[in-house]
Structures are given as structure tokens and as C-alpha cells.
């Protein structure tokens, strides 16, 4: 359902954000994240602009209003298509539009978007300018520090400088380069070395830009350290693989005095959402798959994962599966 932008005057705080992750951060996952942190900025999975233009927006752009603040991430390289989707995203109520210049999969290479666009900074600038021209909400860019043999700091600096001329003020930097040939998307998340100092240098060279760092950040001490050097931290796989990690974000980074909610309390709240979605015909597995790592690293955590794995796909499985699993962890 579309909303009136006039009703959504929000100042986005990007101190902590949760990364867009394909096949993971759907609207059910984001609803769970929002129960864990009221303040961190959430991102949609990457939505391909061409698909929205051809198949219609509702399938790709709908989300739960409880997810605010939330950004829509788009993938594409055709300025008109991106502008149209950005406008639709604003009409649907998103708080930010983000352009993906970081994904290294074969799919994005064949479609000429994602990290391969680091080689075409002026095209990226043209796309950002087209989106900014039709929306009042922020347009941001998520990129890497380099691609293939184009991995010098000078090239990264030039890329940021070119895109920033459009008026784009916020850049999320995954502190790894990407190899388009020879490494799978999964390997590109692990093998290229992290180079946080390059991201820090960007902040020093562009003090007026908002620079957010991403890549391999999985503990609070590291987050605090990064925040001494950049404006914000984006958390990726840690948030999905161990969601309860997010439960102290508000207390640590937003000066919230509210008491941390227990894991069981979060799950009980999520169970109400699950029941509503089941009533709408959403499969149980689509709702509970995001909970597999909820008790990662704690006693009975393996028992929790095993119980869910064995029951969520059973015929006629319902809310009782989650309630029984919660009871198991009491």
C-alpha cells in the first residue's frame, strides 16, 4: 500500500544499519530485526529495477509499516528505469533509496549492474542524478573498494568524487574488493582481504560525506572502534546468522535506557506476527527459516535448530511448531 510522503518526515540515523542480503532479508526477516532493535536502519533485499518495471511494484516493494526506518535497495544501470523505481519506492513509503554497486554475482554481471559498475563511474553518477531528480528522500550508494584490477585507492577516490558531484551524500563501503572472474559470490564475501583503512581514508578525504563501513563486523568492540573513524557501521551476516546479537544495539549505540528484551520475549512477540501471516496463507517455513540461528552459541541452540528443521516443512504445520520450540528453550 502506498503512503503519503508528507506523513513520513523522518531523519535517518545511519549509525547502525543492517545490510541488504539477497534471499535473506525479506520482509519477515526485517520484522524480526525490528523487534530486536527499534533504531537500526533496515535495508530491503536488492530489487532489480527492470523486474519492477515489467512485473509491477506490489510484488517487490510491499513491506510492513513496522519496519521503518527502511531503505529500498535497487539494482540496475538504466537511469530511466531506476528513476521510475525510486519514485515508486518513495510512494510506497521507503525512507531511502540505495543503489547497489557491490554485488558480484553472475546475474548482475550479465545485467550490467552491481559491482561491475565501479568501472563506469559516470554511468553511476547519471543513474544517481536521475533518481535524485524525482524523489525527495535520500539516494545513497553501496559499493566496494575496488573490482578486479581496478583496486587502487586513487580509483576508489575518483569513483566517490564523480558520484558525489550529483549531490549524493551517503556512501556505504564494503571494505573488500570483488573479483568478477574466478571467485563465487560467497568467496567474494570472504577471500578478498578487508581493508578498513581505505574506508577511513575516504572519510578523511571527504569529511562532508557520510561514510558507512561494512564487511566482517561481528562484535560490539569492533563497531565502537569503527565509529571513531567513520559515520556508521553496517552489519551483515552476523545479524542474520545470530539475530539475537541485535538485541543490545539500542542500548549500546542509541543511548536507550530501556531494558534488553529476552530472547523468549522476542520470539513470543514474533509468534503473533507469524500467526497473522499464516492466516494470510504465508507458508510456515518462509516465516521460521529466519529463526534458525536465533540461539546460536547458547546451550540447547543445536536442539532448537534441529527441532525447527524437522517440523517447519511438515504438512499442516502451524503456529504450534514455534510455540513448542519456544517452550523447549524456557
Lookup: cell for 319: 503456529
Residues in CB range of 54: below 8 A, 6 or more apart: none
Residues in CB range of 49: below 8 A, 6 or more apart: 74, 75, 76, 78, 81, 82, 84, 85
Q: Which of these is catalytic: 29, 85, 103, 127?
A: 103
Please name which of 70, 95, 76, 56 lies closest in space to residue 19, comparing C-alpha atoms: 70
| C-alpha distances out from residue 163 to 97, 121, 157, 168, 223, Å | 15, 7, 10, 7, 27
User: Would residue 53 show up in a list of annotated catalytic residues for this protein?
Assistant: no
C-alpha 30/C-alpha 22 separation (Å) is 13
Please name which of 40, 42, 162, 41 lies closest in space to residue 101, comparing C-alpha atoms: 162
Q: Looking at residue 293, what DSSP letter applies? A: T
**Radius of gyration over every alpha carbon of the chain, rounded to an integer in angstroms:** 20
Strand segments (E) across 78-169: 96-101, 139-147
Give me the active site residues, please: 103
Amino acid at each position: 500500500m502506498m503512503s503519503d510522503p508528507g506523513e513520513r518526515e523522518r531523519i535517518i540515523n545511519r549509525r547502525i544499519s543492517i545490510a541488504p542480503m539477497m534471499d535473506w532479508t525479506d520482509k519477515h526477516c526485517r520484522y524480526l530485526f525490528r523487534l530486536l532493535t527499534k533504531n537500526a536502519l533496515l535495508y530491503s533485499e536488492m530489487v532489480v529495477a527492470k523486474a519492477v518495471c515489467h512485473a509491477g511494484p506490489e510484488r517487490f516493494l510491499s513491506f510492513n509499516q513496522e519496519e521503518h526506518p527502511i531503505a529500498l535497495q535497487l539494482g540496475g544501470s538504466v537511469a530511466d528505469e531506476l528513476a521510475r523505481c525510486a519514485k515508486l519506492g518513495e510512494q510506497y513509503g521507503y525512507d531511502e533509496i540505495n543503489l547497489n554497486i557491490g554485488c558480484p554475482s553472475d546475474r548482475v554481471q550479465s545485467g550490467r549492474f552491481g559491482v561491475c559498475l565501479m568501472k563506469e563511474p559516470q554511468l553511476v553518477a547519471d543513474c544517481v542524478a536521475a533518481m535524485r531528480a524525482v524523489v525527495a528522500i535520500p539516494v545513497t550508494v553501496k559499493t566496494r573498494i575496488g573490482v578486479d584490477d581496478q583496486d587502487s585507492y586513487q580509483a576508489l577516490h575518483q569513483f566517490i568524487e564523480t558520484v558525489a558531484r550529483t549531490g549524493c551524500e551517503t556512501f556505504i563501503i564494503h571494505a573488500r574488493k570483488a573479483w568478477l572472474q574466478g571467485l563465487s559470490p560467497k568467496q567474494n564475501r570472504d577471500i578478498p582481504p578487508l581493508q578498513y583503512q581505505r574506508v577511513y581514508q575516504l572519510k578523511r578525504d571527504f569529511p562532508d560525506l557520510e561514510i558507512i563501513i561494512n564487511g566482517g563486523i561481528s562484535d560490539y568492540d569492533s563497531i565502537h572502534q569503527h565509529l571513531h573513524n567513520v559515520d556508521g557501521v553496517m552489519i551483515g551476516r552476523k545479524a542474520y546468522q545470530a539475530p539475537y546479537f541485535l538485541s543490545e544495539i539500542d542500548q549500546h549505540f542509541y543511548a536507550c535506557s530501556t531494558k534488553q528484551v529476552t530472547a523468549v520475549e522476542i520470539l513470543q512477540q514474533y509468534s503473533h506476527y507469524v500467526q497473522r501471516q499464516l492466516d494470510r496463507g504465508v507458508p510456515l517455513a518462509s516465516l521460521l527459516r529466519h529463526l534458525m540461528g536465533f540461539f546460536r552459541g547458547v546451550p540447547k541452540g543445536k536442539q532448537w535448530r534441529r527441532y525447527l528443521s524437522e517440523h517447519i516443512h511438515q504438512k499442516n504445520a502451524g503456529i504450534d511448531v514455534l510455540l513448542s520450540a519456544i517452550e523447549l528453550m524456557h
